[in-house]
Structure 1
Amino acid sequence: MEHLIEKTLAKEKIFSGKVIEVYVEDVQLPNGKTSKREVVKHPGAVAVIPVTNEGKVVLVRQYRKAMERVLVEIPAGKLEKGEEPLATAHRELEEETGYRCGPMRHVVSFYTSPGFADELIHLYVAEQLTKVENAASLDEDEFVDVLEVTLEEALALLERQEIYDAKTAYALQYLQLQRALGAKHE
């Protein structure tokens, strides 16, 4: 695999924001030539697949400025400095949906756009949900509607492109697969 590695020759931070940093890197390619890479550094994030005792999936509807539209997604959020992904998952579940859960199960961690960003999302399943009376509040710049839908209704949202992000599409595919595997074992 060494024949694929790009060596960083120089690195310049060109932007530092609330969530991301952007770098331009000069790299030496495996063939000895040089090139530039634009790299987005992200603290990482979690996403949660909340499933009610009735088998419904809890989703959130929110406006996404980058897309200039309202999307439906699974609850998610970025890791705070020094925060473990599991703690972030529990926090985001309560803040965005008003639910707490029994033990969460880690499904997978994946990079969202490895061609230019290092964002790593840790995906969890949350079951044994209970509604919290005084749930933790959303961030002051966050506004969401909570939806509880069947898997079939969620897939219809995906088909209508109301669900349009990879983490939520992945989560729904995961739930479909689990249902199919469960059906085979019964």
Structure 2
Amino acid sequence: MENKVEHERIPVVRLDRQLKYQGNILKIYEDTVLANGHEAKWDFIHHDGAAAVLPVAEDGRILMVRQYRNALDRFTLEIPAGKLDAPGEPKVECAYRELEEETGYRVDSPKHLEYLMSLTTTVAFCDEAIDIFVAHHLQPSRQHLDEDEVIDVVPCELEDLENMIYTGRITDGKTIAAIMAYARKYRSSDKADDLV
């Protein structure tokens, strides 16, 4: 029988963290770490967190938002989302706010926002964490956009959204995760009918 030698993992030890840039949404640090016995410089981006919401209209269509994304230099189709107003803000309250701000629809209370999933967006260098909720019993309201925001609301069939994912027309990670999780959870169990 072959002997298997188990190697002890040498922990990563952070020796220093220096703030290099602070913007409106994130802070960029340079970390000095001792990793695998070697000193290295690692980038780290801190984000206070965010929430997103998958709004389901009475007819079963999903209300998506089309907006320009500077990092990609193009328009994208996404679920509504936004950063927390403060680090300790409950994510369900953030989702409640972002739903109305971006789509012009609201729910009577956060209890009509059902938790769907949590995800970390870019684990290699950023700690951004997003909770995603499903919104049902939507009530018409009005958008409350920032002065530099241009957002169009686009109602879409679930099957069309899945096709846009498979053909590369939707590439946003949180949106893909939310749509696929929603499809898996509700299509197979007929629970989608409970949301309208």
Using structure 1 for the length normalisation, give the TM-score: 0.90
Is 1:17 the counterpart of 2:23 in the alignment?
yes
Match of 1:161 in 2: 168
The counterpart of 2:68, out of the listed 63, 67, 70, is 63
Instruction: State the shift of 1:4 in Å.
Output: 5.7
Amino acid corresponding to residue 138 of structure 1 in structure 2 = L
Q: Where does 1:116-135 land on structure 2 (aligned, <5 Å)?
A: 116-132=125-141, 135=142
Instruction: State the shift of 1:3 in Å.
Output: 3.2
Match of 1:88 in 2: 94
**4-13 or 167-176, which moves further after superposition?**
4-13
Match of 1:98 in 2: 104
Partner Cα distance (1:115, 1:143) in 2? 31
Amino acid corresponding to residue 49 of structure 1 in structure 2 = L
Partner Cα distance (1:72, 1:182) in 2? 27
The counterpart of 1:111, out of the listed 120, 135, 152, is 120
Is 1:138 the counterpart of 2:138 in the alignment?
no
Match of 1:77 in 2: 82
Using structure 2 for the length normalisation, give the TM-score: 0.86
Is 1:172 the counterpart of 2:191 in the alignment?
no
Instruction: State the shift of 1:153 in Å.
Output: 1.9
Instruction: State the shift of 1:95 in Å.
Output: 0.4
Contact 2:103 2:143 in 1 (8 A): no
Amino acid corresponding to residue 155 of structure 1 in structure 2 = E
Aligned Cα root-mean-square deviation (Å): 1.8
Aligned residues: 180
Instruction: State the shift of 1:72 in Å.
Output: 0.2
Amino acid corresponding to residue 169 of structure 1 in structure 2 = I
Amino acid corresponding to residue 167 of structure 1 in structure 2 = K
Partner Cα distance (2:115, 2:148) in 1? 28
Unaligned runs of 5+ in 1: none
**81-90 or 57-66, which moves further after superposition?**
81-90
Instruction: State the shift of 1:179 in Å.
Output: 3.4
Instruction: State the shift of 1:23 in Å.
Output: 0.3
Instruction: Report the secondary structure of 1:8's partner residue.
Output: strand
Partner Cα distance (2:11, 2:63) in 1? 41
Instruction: State the shift of 1:148 in Å.
Output: 0.7
Partner Cα distance (2:94, 2:33) in 1? 34
Partner Cα distance (2:10, 2:69) in 1? 36
Amino acid corresponding to residue 81 of structure 2 in structure 1 = A
| Identical positions, percent | 37
Instruction: State the shift of 1:43 in Å.
Output: 1.0
Q: Aligned pair in 2 of structure 1 residues 38, 157: CA closer, same or farther (>3 Å)?
A: same
Unaligned runs of 5+ in 2: 1-7, 192-196
Partner Cα distance (2:190, 2:25) in 1? 42
Give per-residue Cα distances to partners, 1:148-178, cap 9 Å, x unaligned. Answer: 1110122233244332111111111112202
Instruction: Report the secondary structure of 1:117's partner residue.
Output: coil
